[in-house]
A and B are shown apart, each in its own frame.
Chain A
Amino acid sequence: ETGVTQTPRHLVMGMTNKKSLKCEQHLGHNAMYWYKQSAKKPLELMFVYSLEERVENNSVPSRFSPECPNSSHLFLHLHTLQPEDSALYLCASSQDRWRENEQFFGPGTRLTVL
């Protein structure tokens, strides 16, 4: 276990649904990340939060909406997704977002959009 948990582990949703992914870290870290992993493609960084403030939005469509209510929790709110959004969504955390820090990943949420 890495100290980063994600729920749900699997999610199937229609294009008109609204759902949320949850990430929680028990490491006392100050930075949290959302990544997308699609088949046959490298991991792509989506968002970075540092001390609950969004510091990076990597050109992600607005149908993905992150929320970081405190330094231990990170959400990804989903609405009107497309089938090509089906992927493994990974959350990670690090002590802070500076360059010396190792990132710890959760197990991911496997999302299927019908």
Chain B
Amino acid sequence: KQEVTQIPAALSVPEGENLVLNCSFTDSAIYNLQWFRQDPGKGLTSLLLIQSSQREQTSGRLNASLDKSSGRSTLYIAASQPGDSATYLCAVMTSGTYKYIFGTGTRLKVLA
């Protein structure tokens, strides 16, 4: 059974720092992994989708990497801003299921 873990659960950093959020999963047989952002009380916004054949995806200040064999993904945020404050979720689609399994998220606060 696929399990997704995100560490740390919460993170507080000063503005301008580069930071890394971690996601690990127990079953490496996946189709893809998706990173989302969720603002308090709101829905999810898709940030990056990495297919199983890809190693990384980039969008602006965000870079997500995928190491399937070790069951890990990282989301790198460069030059963090207060507007980046949100909860970041990773979700894994395990092969043969077509269902996303979500982690519990990392709650990020960027201080001005």
Complex contact A100–B102 (CB within 8 A): no
A85–chain B nearest beta-carbon distance, Å: 18
Complex contact A43–B91 (CB within 8 A): yes
Which residues of A does B touch, CB under 8 Å? 2, 4, 6, 40-45, 48, 56, 58, 88, 90, 92, 97-100, 102-108, 110
Interface range on chain B (Cβ under 8 Å from partner) = 20 to 34
Among B34, B99, B102, point to the contact of A48 (Cβ < 8 A).
B99
Which residues of B does A touch, CB under 8 Å? 4, 31-32, 34, 36, 41-46, 49, 51, 89, 91, 93, 95, 98-105
Q: CB-CB < 8 A to A88: which residues of B?
A: 41
Q: CB-CB < 8 A to A6: which residues of B?
A: 43
| Known interface pairs A2-B46, A41-B104, A56-B99; 5 further A-B residue pairs with C-beta atoms within 8 A, sorted by A's residue number | A43-B89, A92-B44, A103-B46, A105-B36, A105-B46
B93–chain A nearest beta-carbon distance, Å: 6
Complex contact A103–B51 (CB within 8 A): no
A97 and B42 contact, Cβ closer than 8 Å, known pairs A40-B104, A42-B103: no
